[in-house]
Amino acid sequence: MAGMNRLYRCFPLALGASLLLGAAEPKPLAFAPWINGTAANEPETQVQAIDADTFVIRQSVKTNFEAPFLYLLFGRDRALLLDTGAGGLKIRPTVDRLVADWRARHGGRAIRLVVAHSHGHGDHHAGDDEFRDRPDTDVVGLTPSEVAAFFRFADWPQGVARFDLGGRVLDLLATPGHQPAHIMVYDGRTRLLFSGDMLYPGRLYVPLNHFDDFRSSAERLAAFAGTHPIRALLGAHIEMTTAPGKDYPMEAPVHADEHGLALAPSAIEELRAAVVKAGPVPAIDRHADFIVYPVPARPND
Please report, for the chain, the start and end positions of each structural domain, with discontinuous segments joined by +.
Answer: 2-295
Note whether 61 and 67 are within 8 A (CB). yes
**pLDDT by residue (tens digit) across 35-45?**
999 999 999 99
- Tell the burial category of 301 from Cβ atoms under 10 Å away from its Cβ (0-12, 13-18, 19+): middle
Q: What is the pLDDT of residue 4?
A: 41
Confidence (pLDDT) at 27: 64
Tell me how far apart the alpha carbons of residues 119 and 124 are, in angstroms, rounded to a whole number.
Answer: 7
- Rounded to an integer, the average pLDDT of 176-200 is 98
Segment 208-213 mean pLDDT: 97
Question: How does residue 12 score in pLDDT terms, banded at 50, 70 and 90?
Answer: very low
In the prediction, which pLDDT does 268 show? 98
As a CATH number, domain 2-295 is: 3.60.15.10
Q: Distance between CA atoms of 159 and 149, rounded to whole angstroms? A: 14
Are the CB atoms for 282 and 60 separated by under 8 Å? no
CA angle 44–196–201, rounded 5-degree value: 80
Cβ-based neighbours of 62, under 8 Å, separated by 6 or more = 37, 42, 44, 253
Mean pLDDT over each residue of the chain, to the nearest integer:
92
- In this prediction, residue 28 carries a pLDDT of 66
Is the pLDDT confidence value at 146 over 80? yes
